[in-house]
Homo-oligomer: A and B are copies of this chain.
Amino acid sequence: MTDVVRLLTRAQKLLRTATDSAMQEHGVRIGQNLVLEVLWDTDGLTPGDLAARLDVATPTVVNTAARMEAAGLLERRRDPDDRRLVRLYLTPKARAAEAPISAARREIAARALAALTPEELTHLENALTKIVTTLGGTRETTR
Interface residues of A (CB under 8 A from B): 1-5, 7-16, 18, 55, 105-106, 108-116, 120-121, 123-137, 139
Identical chains bound together, number: 2
Given contacts A8-B11, A10-B139, A106-B1, contact A115 B130 (CB under 8 A): yes
The answer to whether A133 touches B115, judged by C-beta atoms less than 8 angstroms apart, is yes
Given A4-B121, A127-B120, A134-B115, answer yes or no on A10-B55 (Cβ-Cβ < 8 Å). Answer: yes
Q: How far is the CB of A113 from chain B (nearest CB, A)?
A: 6
A-B pairs with lowest CB-CB distance, top 3: A12-B12, A14-B135, A1-B109
Q: A2-B109, A5-B109, A8-B128 are in contact. List 17 more A-B contacts (CB 8 A).
A: A1-B106, A1-B109, A2-B105, A4-B121, A7-B129, A8-B15, A11-B128, A11-B132, A13-B55, A15-B135, A111-B134, A115-B131, A120-B130, A123-B123, A123-B127, A124-B127, A124-B128
Residue on B nearest A131 in the bound complex, by CB: B11
List B contacts of A4 (CB < 8 A).
109, 113, 121, 124-125, 128
